[in-house]
Amino acid sequence: MRNTVRQELVARQLDEQIAARFPVGQRLRVLDVGMGQGTQALRLARAGHSVTGLESDAEMLSSARESLAREPEGIRERFRLIEGDGRDTGVHFLPGSFDVVLCHGVLMYVPEPDPMLAGLARMLAPGGLLSLLVRNADALAMRPGLVGDFGAALAAFDTDTYRNRLGLDVRADRLDALRATLAGIAAPLHAWYGVRVFTDNVSNEAELPGPEELAKVFAAEDKAGRTDPYRGIAALLHLCGVRG
């Protein structure tokens, strides 16, 4: 449920931003940094865009290759997979090479994100879209608080680090800090959304509801992710910057 909600909401929000910035039917050059299994990258390739996936984890890269191998030839031809670190985009690509750059669920593993973000912004052509999905540091108390772990909830108010469900100690980002960073790298914040306002504490093993109920989940999450004050306490933030 958690991943399904994340992918669906991010897809809707990303499509909305792309439609607002680019002519209908334009084949975009997309870079997905830390693409994981490639859910969003493959979706955009199926929509006709030229996609490059950059991934450093060998297991994730193998999984993405297996998924890509099952796609029709036309999609495979416009999809490129590269093994590499998102902090080294300048090694692989020339500045201004892409219309859209995705960096979803990556910054929490980067101790000093500002240099990486500056490198991602340099990859964008003028008017290009930078899409970031980050853990919301201003809502770290919500997850433990809602399950009754009030000691952990109190501690979360004074930190920007947390232990994720993989058991790793990682970091979260604050909206205001990222807003300032994006302005400083000439890709100022254009729009932002909350992701997983209501479903963040759902068990990883929880089965999806039926189509009708799932549609209600998506509708409620979509509405909350666009509405104050709900979006401010979402587990994840989806930020969209535009290259000046």
Bridging pattern class, strands 236-242 and 189-195: antiparallel
pTM of the model: 0.95
Predicted local distance difference test score (pLDDT) of residue 168: 85
**Region 195-203: what's the mean pLDDT?**
94
Listing DSSP states for 103-167 in one string gives: EES-GGG-SSHHHHHHHHHHTEEEEEEEEEEEEBGGGTTHHHHHTT-HHHHHHHTT-SEEE-TTS
Residue that is written with structure tokens 């890269």 in the block = 61
Residue that is written with structure tokens 């003028």 in the block = 126
Of 86-90, 93-97, 161-165, give the range with the top mean pLDDT.
93-97
Predicted local distance difference test score (pLDDT) of residue 203: 86
Residue that is written with structure tokens 């490639």 in the block = 38
Share above pLDDT 90 across residues of the chain, in percent, rounded to a whole number: 85
Q: How confident is the model at residue 244 (pLDDT cuts 50, 70, 90)?
A: confident
Q: How far apart are CA 198 and CA 206, in angstroms?
A: 14
pLDDT at 188 over 90: yes
Lowest mean pLDDT among 6-10, 67-71, 130-134: 67-71
pLDDT at 12 over 90: yes
- At 67-81, the pLDDT tens digits run 999 999 999 999 999
The torsion angles phi and psi of 240, rounded to 5 degrees, stand at -125, 115
The torsion angles phi and psi of 209, rounded to 5 degrees, stand at -75, 175
- At 217-234, the pLDDT tens digits run 999 999 999 999 999 999
Q: How confident is the model at residue 166 (pLDDT cuts 50, 70, 90)?
A: confident
Predicted local distance difference test score (pLDDT) of residue 159: 94
Q: How confident is the model at residue 118 (pLDDT cuts 50, 70, 90)?
A: very high
Residue that is written with structure tokens 């890509």 in the block = 68
Predicted local distance difference test score (pLDDT) of residue 165: 80
